[in-house]
Each structure stands twice: as C-alpha cells, then as structure tokens.
Structure 1
Amino acid sequence: MSDTETARPHPTKATLLLLGTLTAYGAVSIDLYLPGMPAIGRSLGVDSGAVQHTMAAFFIGMSLGQMIYGPLSDRMGRRPLLLFGAAVYVAASLLCALAPSIEWLVAGRFVQALGACSGVVLARAIVRDRFDHQDSARIFSLLMLVLGIAPILAPTLGGWLVGWVGWRGIFGALAAFGVATFIAVALWLPESRSAATAELARNEHVGLSYAAMLRNPRFLGFLLTGAFNGATLFAYISNAPDLLIDQLGFDIAQFGWLFALLAVAVIGSGQVNRLLLDHIPSMRILHVASAVGVVIGIVLLGVAASGIGGRWLLLAVLFAALASYGFIATNTTAAALSVDPQRAGTASAMIGAGSFAMGALASMLAGALHDGTPLPMAAIMASALTLSALALFGLARPAART
C-alpha cells in the first residue's frame, strides 16, 4: 500500500472521538494524577522522591507494554486487545485507589500503564489500517486536538478531585474512564486489521517482525525522527514547573494558564497541519517543519544562553519550538506507519516505545544538567531537533521520492 493508493472514506466524528480518547489514555492518567502527588506522600507517609517512583513505573509500563500489544494485535486483532487493555486498566486503577502503601501504588501504576498503552499503540495502528499516508497524517492531527485537551483540563479536574474526595478519588475517576472506553470499544469500534496483516503475522515470529522493521532504513529514519522530536516535548514538560515558577518567576496561578497556553502551541500546530494537508503532501510539510525546527532550536539556545529579550522572548521562542512538534510528530507517525502497512501494529509499538524511551532520557538528562537556568532545557531541545532532522534527511530521505 503506497501513498498513491485511493483514499478511503473519512471516519465519523464519533470514531475520531473514540480514537482520540484511546490515544489520550496515557496523558489523562498522568495529568489527572499530578495534583494528587503531594497528598499521596502525606497519606502514605513517604517523601516526594518515593512518590516520583509511581511516575517512573508508569513510564516504564507504557514503554514496555507497547512493544507487546503492537505485534500481538497484528496476530490477534486490534479490538480484542483494546478490550483486554481497558479491563486491565480498570482493575489496576482500582488497585491504586485501594493501595495501602507506596509499594502497592508503584505496582498498581505499572500495571495501569500496561492497560493504558493498549489504547495509545492500537489507535495508531487502526488509523493506518483504514487510511493512506496523507489521510493518516490528517487524522493524527485531529487526534492531537483531543489529546491536547488533557494537559489543559486534567490538572484542574485532578486538583478538584483531591480537594473533594482525596487522591484515591482520582484513581476511581480513572477506573470510570476505563469502563467508559471499554463499553465504547465493545459497542462501536469494529475490527480493522486486514487479512493480509493477519496472515503475515501468523507466519512470522515477533522477533523477525521487529528485525524486519529495523532493517528498513526508511522506517528507522522515521522512528528516530519521531523519537528525537518527542524528546523536545518531554524535556519541556519535565522542566515546566521549575522553568515557569522558579526560573522565570511566575506564580502558581500564572503557571496554570501559561502551561495551557504552551499546550495550545502543540494543539494549534496540529490543526494548521491538518489544513495544510488538504493542499500539500505530508512529506513536504515534514521536511519544511523539520528544517525550521532546527533554526528555532538554535534561536532558543541563543536566547536562553544570552538572556536577551527577557522571559517573554524566551517563552515566545519556546512556543514556536513546541509548535514544530505538532507538525513533525503527526507527519512522522503517518510516514513511519506507511513504510510497511502490513506490520502496522509492530511499527506503532516501536514508534511509541522509542518516543517514551527518548523522552525519559531527555528528562533524566535535563535533571542531571539542571543549573537553575533555562539553558540545559534549551540545549537539549536544540540538540533533539537537530538530531531529528539528521535522521529525517539522512536515513528517511528516500521517502521523499514516494
């Protein structure tokens, strides 16, 4: 299946909403939970470092789980694994809500991530099952709109839940979210895996499937392009509270609306990308966005190092850097999944795991280099944008001719 294939009918709004909700599993599970972290520490009698282990466990589960669900879905189908993942998510959320100790909560968050990642990885595969490269890029842009609501609304809702029913109520709400998605998938989401995908998966070992994808330089190029681009977002998110409050001097209330405003950069760029895709090929947008992203990264590094323009110029350039993520992420995902559509589940798993792994590395590196200024974050973002472009224009460049 190539980019020249006949475009298939567009999905209904209900299908898009459901796929967007599945994609947002991870984001909702993180952002709704953030306001409850101090209360968790007080309730379970542990310090903030111990509570952070629950977040680390979730990221590890998200990364590992995707590598399992992806190839399995090529063999067993997308729908049964989505239902299984939602059931695991509900059970783990209830375990978290009832956790008597931090150790139980860490274990619960890990298992919760194993359920959550089913929606993230399989929603991407479902899009590629049904749509060609250009339409996939357009739909991923729409899904980003749904996904982007989480960092804007979830922290506020989480704070309200903590004040009303305590931190355990957050996990009760997440369990209800899981039940709702289970019912929606069961009632309204048909199987999308093709017969050709099923036949190939039955005759190919999982390890061989992964090896086949990694041997393809185009896919490897897109994989690295997306992973390094993801590192730019993770580097910002992991530094956001320290950057906006401690370094730039905004108060807690200002942090909330600034965080939301910067989230709009990612959401808005995804929607501009969707409109551009009506007139411009996805690969052309990706190449331009990647080149512009490198320039923005260099400017961000210069502003952070020199302090020129003060905090508002830094935020303006940071907004532009985050906007580049929206263009690069959606088109890279569509391109990577188009390299070998019959292995869409495996490819989706590698895309997700690579992004989380590189994002975790960027977050740890930002922490190790922390010096109380925006410079380490800017240096990581500039480096990641540059490496992303090198992967695109190097390994993945032949895709420009397709």
Structure 2
Amino acid sequence: MAISSQSIISLIVVLSVTVADMSTDLYSVALSHIADYFNVDGNIVQFTLTCNLTGIALSGLIYGPLSDYYGRRPIMLVGMAIFTIASCICCIADDIILLILARFLQGIGSGVASVIGYATIRDMYSGIEYSKVISKLNMVVALSPCIAPVVGSHIIKWGCNWRFLFFIIFLTTTIMFCLIYFKLKETLIIKHNKASINHIIIRILKQYLLLFRNYRFLGFAVIQGLTFMWLWAYIANYPFIFKYLKIKDEYFGYLISIMVSFYMIGALINRKYVSKIGINKMLTIGLILPIISDGSLLIYYYSIGHLNLYILEIAWILSNIGIAFIISNNVTLAFGEINDIGFGSAFISFCDMAFGATGIYIVGKFFHYNVLPNLVLTVICSITAIVIYSLLHMAKYTNNQLKI
C-alpha cells in the first residue's frame, strides 16, 4: 500500500525533532564526565544546556516567521545545515568555552526542528485531530529521551570519550539533512510576492505585535514555558541527582527511560480520551499531576528527612504523564487563537527554551541542595500555570456570557 504524502511529511518531522532532542538526550548523561574532563564545576557544564536552549529560543523567533513567508522546506534546510556544522564543532572542541559556543550554535540550528516541524503538521491538521496527531508524534519523539540516555550511558561505560557522543549526533544530523533535501515537500501555500528584507522585517515585527495583543495566546504560551522551565531543570540535574544517590553511570539511561516511558503512556491516554473528556479538562489534569507528584515528595522529604531513588521514580510517574497532557492540549488551544501558525509556533518555542534556560540557571544556583530545587520549582511553576489557565478560562466564560 502506498504511503501518503502526509505520512511521509509527518515521519520527517518526527525524525527531525528526535534528532534535535537527541543532541541533548545523548550527551546529558555525560555532563559529570565533561565537568571532570575540563576540570570545572557541574553548574559550568550545565551552562552548555542553558546556551543551547537560548540558541533554540532566539532562532525560533526568526524561523517561524520566515517559514510563513518563504515556506517550511527552505527554512528547515537552512536550520539543519547550521545544526550539522555546529555538531561537527562540538566533536573537536578543545576547551569548555568553545564547547559552550558550539552548543549555542547547535541550538540555533536545532531550533528549526520543532518550530517548523509542528507548524508543518498544523498546515495539515487542526482542532482535536491536531491534538491526536501531536500525541501520536510525541510518543515516537519520546523514544529519543527513552533510548538515547541508555545508549549514551553505555558508551561512557565502555570507556569511549564524550566526543564520540557528539560524533553520533553529527552523523545523524548529516543523514537528516539529506532526507529533508530529497523527501520533504512544501506544505504551505505561499501567498507573498518577492519583497525587500526591510519589508519582511517590518511584517515580522507587526505580526509579533499582534501576538502580544492576543492575551489568550500569550497565556497559553506562558503555561507551556512554565512547564518546560521545570522539565529542563530536571533534564540538566538528573545526572547529578543520580550521582549524589551513588547510582552507577550505566544505569542513568535506564532510569531516565523509565520516566520517559510514562510520558509515552500519557500521550497514549491523551490520544484515546481527549475526544471524550475534552482538550480543556485534559490540560487541567496535566497541570495538576506535577503538583501532586513533587508536592508529595516535598512533604515526604520534610517528614522523613531524606529521599531515595525508588520514592523519586514512583512519584515522578504522575508528573511525566502530566507533561504529555500539557504539551499536546496546551499547544492545540494556543494555535486555536491565531492564524499565522509559523509565528505562533516560533513564539511558543521561544517560551519553551527561554523558560527552560531560566529553570536550568535557577537549579544551578542552588545546585548544592541536590533535588530540592527541582521539587520546589516544579510546584511553583505548575501552580502559576494553573492560575493563568483559570484566569483565561474565566475570561472566556465571561465574554461568552456577555455575548449572550
């Protein structure tokens, strides 16, 4: 049976986002080894993650609007080319400063994957159907943080240098660039005539001003950002949490994979029940679950005085299922408020990474408290997100009543 054009495009999007995620997931287990190699503190090495997310955040603001103007395919190619070159530089970095700069450049390139990828999917689907497709794609994309840490931890265990991890990333980005060049078709009907760069810049600024006037879209974008703030803070701190608990390197990947597997279960649940329960209720459940998870851990810690690996893993099941509910449904609601999906996707990606970089910085400042900064940050971010969502929901209900 012939594979449809939509299926091929969706597959390319999945692979692109997976490769982009892998640039962090594969090497994150080696953060403590990189710190030892360059003889620097752990929070300095965590800065490679912060700079990477900053690059993704800034580049996304440009990729989205340019893709609305020139099309998804050419912008995707430009971003993946930058991603490939930066990955090569990471392989040969001989000091921590160069590695940090290379990771920033890598972020500028990899930022194209999610921004253009999800905008491409939005070109083909909308509403509940979009939420279902995103849930399905996120399940596949989740294989990267599920498999990559396991592979990375075993590579380190076998005595391979951390540079080999970046070589694997460079190889996969090269293959991905070729696949996009030969197989990705344009999904956007371009309505613009050729114009000067000044005209394009003015249009981009005007569109972002329109986004900033859309308080509902901004609210959903901030909710997404707050979720990624505590999520990326965990990603940056996992290797050091496990090291503090005296877990061997080869087990890091498996522990992370267990958590990711529950994210995939959450995506499956969302895909099955979103039509029956509704997007809004699924999002509400997703926002509450991390509060129950990390709030319980905080109470347990202050009651008992310590946390162990088994308690952490069991509690984190809820928060990882919650992430799946939030990502799929919050983005769907956000895109329902706007017309220019490229701009919207770019701004949401910016919030994801800017908030994520901030989360990593906060956890790094309180690094000596081990997992406690992560627990507090998760609870604060999730409560704030619920308050914002409640305000958005009440405002919409009030507006509907006034119309009646």
What TM-score comes out, normalization by structure 2 length? 0.85
Does residue 171 in structure 1 map to residue 166 in structure 2? yes
1:128 partner amino acid: R
Cα shift at 1:24: 2.3
Equivalent position of 2:221 in the other structure: 223
Equivalent position to 2:314, from 302, 313, 316: 316
Bigger shift: 388-397 or 129-138? 388-397
Structure 1 residues 32 and 288: alpha-carbon distance in aligned structure 2, compared to 1, 3 A threshold = closer
List aligned pairs for 1:182-193, cutoff 5 A. 182-193=177-188
Q: Which moved more, 1:256-265 or 1:329-338?
A: 256-265
8 Å contact kept, 1:304–1:378: no
* Distance in 1, Cα, partners of 2:108 & 2:205: 20
Distance in structure 1 (CA, Å) of the matches to 2:193 and 2:342: 11
Q: 1:238 offset after TM fit, Å?
A: 2.8
Q: Does 1:382 align with 2:370?
A: no
Deviation of residue 95 (structure 1)?
A: 2.4
SS in 2 for 1:24: helix
Within 5 A, what are the aligned runs for 1:105-144?
Answer: 105-144=99-138
1:217, 1:377 → 2: CA distance? 29
Task: Show CA shifts across 1:52-102 (max 9, x none).
Answer: 443333222111111121111111111101011111112222222233444
Tell me the equivalent position of 2:80: 86
Q: Distance in 2 between matches of 1:23 and 1:145?
A: 12
User: Contact (CA 8 Å) 1:17, 1:146: kept in 2 or not?
Assistant: no
Higher deviation after alignment, 301-310 or 322-331:
301-310
Q: Measured at CA, do residues 245 and 20 of structure 1 come closer, stay the same or move farther in structure 2, by a change above 3 Å? A: same
Letter of the 2:318 counterpart: A
The answer to whether the aligner puts 1:261 opposite 2:261 as a matched pair is no
* 1:38 Cα deviation after fit: 5.7
**In structure 2, distance between residues paired with 1:387 and 1:161:** 40
Cα distance in 2 for partners of 1:297, 1:170 equals 32
**What number of residue pairs does the alignment pair up?**
391
Do the aligned residues in 2 keep the contact of 1:23 with 1:143 (CA within 8 Å)?
no
Matches within 5 A, 1:2-401: 12-37=6-31, 46-48=39-41, 51-159=45-153, 161=155, 163=158, 166-195=161-190, 205-247=203-245, 250-307=247-304, 311=308, 312-341=310-339, 343-370=340-367, 372=369, 374-395=371-392, 397=394
* Separation (CA, whole Å) in 2 of partners of 1:155 and 1:314: 18
Given residue 341 of structure 2, which amino acid in structure 1 is its aligned partner? Answer: A
- Secondary structure of the residue that 1:385 maps to in structure 2? helix
SS in 1 for 2:276: coil
- How far did 1:371 drift? 5.1
Cα deviation code 1:295-315 (max 9, x no counterpart): 445434323332399634443
User: Residue 151 of structure 1 contacts residue 260 of structure 1 at CA under 8 Å; is this kept in 2?
Assistant: yes
Residues 132 and 257 of structure 1: is their aligned pair in 2 closer, same or farther, counting only changes over 3 Å? same
Deviation of the 1:264 alpha carbon: 1.5
1:395, distance to aligned residue in structure 2 (A): 2.9
Change (3 A) 1:225 1:13: same
RMSD: 3.2
Deviation at 1:375, TM superposition (A): 3.3
d(CA) in 2 for partners of 1:182, 1:27: 15
Give the drift of 1:40: 5.0
Give the share of equivalent positions with the same residue, in percent: 24
3-state SS of the aligned residue for 2:93?
coil
2:132 alignment partner AA: R
Task: Give the counterpart letter for 2:286 in structure 1.
Answer: A
Q: C-alpha distance in 2, partners of 1:219/1:34?
A: 32
The Cα shift of 1:138 comes to 1.2
Secondary structure at 1:192 match in 2 = coil
- Given residue 239 of structure 1, which amino acid in structure 2 is its aligned partner? N
- How much does 1:210 deviate? 1.2
Q: For residues 397 and 126 of structure 1, what CA distance do their matches in structure 2 show?
A: 32
One-letter amino acid matched to 1:391: I
Q: Given the superposition, is the C-alpha separation of residues 316 and 39 from structure 1 closer, same or farther in structure 2, using an over 3 Å criterion?
A: closer
1:267 counterpart SS class: helix
Aligned mates of 1:230, 1:55 — CA distance in 2: 13
- In structure 2, stretches of 5+ residues that fail to align are none
User: In 2, Cα distance between the equivalents of 1:33 and 1:354?
Assistant: 23
Residue 187 of structure 2 aligns to a residue whose secondary structure is: coil
Structure 2 vs 1, CA of residues 292 and 158 (structure 1 numbering), >3 Å: closer, same or farther?
closer
